[in-house]
Chain A
Amino acid sequence: MLNRDGVASKDQVLSRFPSNEVLVKAKAITECYEEIPCNPCATSCPFDAIHIGEDINTKPVVDFDLCTGCGICVYSCPGLAIVTAQIVKDKARFKLPYEFRPLPIVGEVWDGVNRNGEVICKALIEKVTYTARVDRTALVQVSVPLEFIHEFITVRRVL
């Protein structure tokens, strides 16, 4: 349970995902389940696809029609609580925030990790964006087997 161990329930996670049909294009998955005073996801979105409004304690709502899956909100979220997800054939492709060093290198295969911190699959590193704009939160694009689309959350270097 989120309040006790920091792990969102399956229902909470699913509530943040659009349908698989929508996910043929990349979309932002905002795992922000709590009213906290914070709105950079909304103000950083160049497409006005994330709505919070005047009261910055409001939880973000994504308009999947407007969201292009660009990933700007991913590295703008102070809580590292946003990824983008996309279905590409039999793979799920994610853009995720990564703040550990050394950074992954394109072509490497890392462990795919779930919200419990358990290794569940392999993740192919497809792209690593590390520019002044991302401000030290690297944007890492990876792909994992499609069956893990609702379980996968981050990558870990293989020990």
Chain B
Amino acid sequence: MINKDLVIIGGGPAGLSAAKLAAESGLSSLIVERDFKLGGQLVKQTHMFFGSEKQYAKTRGIDIAKILVDDVLKYPEMVEVMTDTTVVGLYEDKVITLLHNDEYIKVQSKAIIIATGASEKVLAFPNNDLPGIYGAGAVQTLMNVNGVLPGNDVVMVGSGNIGLIVSYQLMQAGVNVKCVIEASSSIGGYKVHASKLKRLGVDILTSHSVKRANGTEALESIVISKLDENWDYIEGTEKTIEVDSLCISVGLSPLSSLLSMIGVDMKYVSSLGGLVPYIDSHHETSVKDVYVAGDVCGVEEASSAIVEGYLTGLIVASSLGFKHENYDELYRDFKAQLENLRSGPFGEKTREGLQEIARNHDVK
């Protein structure tokens, strides 16, 4: 059994930021990352980020990944990193079991920060398992990390920020995006992203959904249909579009299965993306010394995940006796940043969702 003060599960924006603030406070940690390298989803995000300077606005996601990784590598004695390592078990006494190179490793930790992020939702329609039908995030990884084009002619399903941004990046890569379709009657993501696509000649069809996919060996065409205000297909509005790729971008759900494993109190909150833990203002779950940061406790932009990571790292270090010398100032600053990021109309769902999972310190 290996003993650790803090294990951080997930080396994306939230996990990396948490490790940085813990190290700054004097607390050492182990980051466990399933992928071969750190950075999470930032490593494929070639676009400039929104937010303010404190969350690296106008810096590209790929470069923010470098900044956050370099930040923790500055503390080689404090932050240990295990990549290509999957957490296979999590127990209420904070024993974590890891699988690395076919080796089974047991770790006893004093505190745990779960920063596992989120995964893409799927959409049910006939033949949705044909080769050529991808999650939009998967396409972004293929293109921007591995340099592989998904196909030549694509339709994007979903006009949230991911759908709009990946469509733009497909166009940058020379792929023909035939249209973006959106079931809702209005565009889901930032309109600046929508306008960028429209001026490239890509139509965004609101009140439309994919009805079925066609193909024998792989995707050959899709049938789309208009939807009425109840999201039911309007007969006679079907249209067939020839494509070799279809990208599904209909939202993300928190990767909260590890939390379920240790019996953390959870709630299904649709505005946060799915099943999420109850948390207190310190991001502690109903199981003592088990904390969460980032999309696992509510799907948002990566800017918020970064700040949640900083905040949680600061708090956990303090709770284990390593109080940062500027604790009060930093705590107020991180809280203010999160409030600012969430205070506009796009933060409304998050604000409502977080109220639903708010937990009193004294419960349990």
Q: Is the CB of A3 within 8 A of B191?
A: yes
User: Which residues does chain A contribute within 8 Å of B196, judged by CB atoms?
Assistant: 79-80
- Partner among A37, A39, A117 whose Cβ is within 8 Å of the Cβ of B201: A117
> At the interface, yes or no: B322 with Cβ under 8 Å from chain A?
no
Is B303 close to A, CB under 8 A? yes
* Cα of A2 to Cα of B193 in the assembled complex, Å: 11
B260 within 8 A of A: no
Q: Give the distance in Å from the alpha carbon of A50 to the alpha carbon of B344 in the complex.
A: 19
Please judge, given known A-B contacts A3-B187, A43-B52, whether A116 and B192 are in contact too, CB under 8 Å: no
Binding site for A on B (CB under 8 A): 47-53, 57-58, 60, 171-172, 185-187, 190-204, 206, 301, 303, 340-347
Given A4-B185, A37-B347, decide whether A56 and B52 contact each other with a Cβ distance below 8 A. yes
**B residues less than 8 Å from A84 (CB atoms):** none
Q: Does A8 contact B (CB under 8 A)?
A: yes
Instruction: Determine how close the nearest CB of chain B comes to the CB of A119; give it in whole angstroms.
Output: 9
Q: How far is the CA of A80 from the CA of B198 in the complex (A)?
A: 13
A-B contact pairs, 30 of them (CB 8 A): A3-B187, A4-B206, A5-B206, A6-B195, A6-B198, A31-B195, A35-B344, A37-B301, A37-B340, A38-B50, A38-B57, A40-B52, A40-B53, A43-B53, A43-B57, A55-B343, A57-B340, A57-B343, A57-B344, A57-B347, A78-B57, A79-B50, A100-B172, A101-B172, A114-B199, A116-B198, A116-B199, A117-B200, A135-B48, A135-B60
Taken residue by residue from 83 to 125, chain A's Cβ proximity to chain B (1 for < 8 Å, 0 otherwise) reads as 0000000000000000111000000000001111110000000
A115 touches B198 (CB 8 A): yes
A47 part of interface (Cβ distance < 8 Å): no
Interface centre among B52, B199, B201, B347 (most CB of A within 10 A): B199
Task: Kindly report which residue of chain B lies nearest to residue A34, judged by CB atoms.
Answer: B191
Minimum distance in angstroms from B179 CB to a CB of chain A: 11
Given A40-B58, A117-B201; A137-B48 close (CB under 8 Å):
yes
What per-residue 1/0 map shows which CB atoms of A117-141 lie under 8 Å from chain B? 1100000000000000001110000
With both beta carbons as reference points, the residue of chain B lying nearest to A154 in the complex is identified as B199
Task: Report whether A115 and B195 are in contact in the complex, using a CB–CB cutoff of 8 Å.
Answer: yes
Smallest Cβ distance from B344 to chain A, in angstroms?
A: 3
Bound CA span A5–B344, Å: 22
Measured between beta carbons, the chain B residues less than 8 angstroms from A4 are: 185-187, 204, 206
A32 an interface residue at 8 Å Cβ cutoff? yes
Produce 1/0 per residue, A18-47, CB < 8 A to B: 000000000000011111111110011000
Q: Which of B57, B192, B301, B341 has the most CB of A within 10 A?
A: B192
Q: Are B344 and A153 in contact (CB under 8 A)?
A: no
Question: Chain A residues near B345 (CB, 8 Å)?
Answer: 34-35, 57
* Interchain nearest-CB distance for A9 vs B (Å): 12
Give chain A nearest CB distance to B229 CB in angstroms. Answer: 14
B199 A2 Cβ-Cβ under 8 A: no
A136 pairs with B191, CB closer than 8 A: no
Is A66 on the interface with B (CB-CB < 8 A)?
no
Q: Which 10 A-B pairs have the closest CB atoms?
A: A79-B192, A57-B344, A6-B194, A117-B201, A78-B48, A6-B198, A40-B58, A38-B50, A3-B186, A81-B192
- Known A-B contacts A33-B191, A35-B345, A81-B192; the reply to A56 vs B340 at CB < 8 A is yes
A81 to B191, CA, bound (A): 10
Query: Whole-angstrom distance from the CB of B67 to the nearest CB of chain A?
Result: 14
Separation of A35 and B198 alpha carbons in the complex (Å):
20
**Which of A76, A101, A117 meets B198, CB within 8 Å?**
A117
A75 CB to nearest B CB, Å: 9
Q: Is the CB of A5 within 8 A of B204?
A: yes
B272, chain A: closest CB distance, angstroms: 17
CB of A7 closer than 8 Å to a CB of B:
yes
- Do the beta carbons of B50 and A36 come within 8 Å of each other? yes
Look across to chain A and name the residue whose beta carbon is closest to the beta carbon of B195: A6
Additional 9 contacts, C-beta under 8 A, given A8-B195, A37-B344, A117-B198? A3-B191, A37-B343, A38-B51, A78-B48, A81-B195, A115-B195, A115-B199, A117-B202, A136-B60
